[in-house]
Amino acid sequence: MTPEFVVNFAKDALSLTILVAMPMLGLGLLVGLTVSVFQATTSIQEMTLTFVPKILAVLFGLLYFAPWMLDKLVTFTESVFQNIPLYIR
């Protein structure tokens, strides 16, 4: 294993992690921004008003994107396991 291989492997793993997390983070950001604008226009400063919609949006996003996320993760894991003989050289 060369240092370049390890860095490239870590880069691939981190980019996959970011790619898989992005839909949920984006939904949380979008809902949080929407609720913040709503709170600013109505002068309602309730803490649970920001927390509960974000949790629900992330939950529904996870249910919607779970098959795609699982496919990406399984594909990456299969490629890692299939290439183990190449890694130990």
pLDDT per residue of the chain (89 residues) written in tens, 0 to 9: 788 988 999 999 999 999 999 999 999 999 999 999 999 899 888 878 889 999 999 999 999 999 999 999 999 999 999 988 888 87
The reported pLDDT for the residue numbered 9 is: 92
- State the number of CA atoms in the 13 A half-sphere of 55 facing the CB: 6
Rounded CA separation 61/24 (Å)? 6
pTM listed for this prediction: 0.79
- Phi, psi torsion values for 44, nearest 5 degrees: -95, 125
Provide DSSP, 11-62. Answer: HHHHHHHHHHHHHHHHHHHHHHHHHHHHHHHHT---HHHHHHHHHHHHHHHH
